[in-house]
Homo-oligomer: A and B are copies of this chain.
């Protein structure tokens, strides 16, 4: 019974923290705010997470560890599958994972835009791994002549911009495009957009022959 109650209050704290961080920001949220919203005692947050900083760290590393694990699984497929199939799998997996953890994804993506020691540590631990796995997929695509040759760094950066956008900008999607960013439909549609990008932008046009362009031809 006690253990069950502990799990519930731990989950409440996590949910309250994510929600508050996404409206008032990490720095604008106090431990007391989180405790009040979660309906727990402040000391419980110290006990479980070693305070607000520990809680934020827990949230970021939990999210990113799961994220990197998913990518690692895809990376292992490279031996058996084409680079294109792996890249498609990676994009779908990343979008699904982020969608399942969308409030957390939003917080993490925003938080890593700050300059801080914690962020720098997270970069070198998790985002360097992300870059490593994505790079391996692209490099396999280049060497197998599946992908059009280009800079790995720049294509990974471009891809990261596209992958984080729907989770960083739900308010923008809602207010400007009048689309519900939390609907599965939206995520499916946006993922299709990314797969088109793989098809037209990343893949080599091996089977395409250029003809001279004729105006009004």
Please report A residues at the B interface, Cβ cutoff 8 Å.
Answer: 22-29, 106, 109-110, 112-116, 119-120, 123-124, 127-128, 131, 148, 150-151, 153-158, 160-166, 168-169, 171-173, 175-177, 179, 189-190, 193-194, 196-197, 200-201, 205-214
Query: Would you list the 5 A-B pairs with minimal beta carbon distance, nearest first?
Result: A27-B28, A161-B165, A207-B213, A123-B175, A25-B27
Measured CB to CB, the closest approach of chain B to A28, in angstroms, equals 3
| A209-B210 Cα distance, complex, nearest whole Å | 6
Copies in the complex: 2
CA distance in complex: A155, B190 (Å)? 9
Given A177-B153, A207-B211, CB of A171 within 8 Å of CB of B123:
yes
Q: Are A22 and B115 touching (Cβ within 8 A)?
A: yes
Instruction: Closest B residue to A164 by CB, please name it.
Output: B161
**What B residues does A213 contact at CB under 8 A?**
206-207
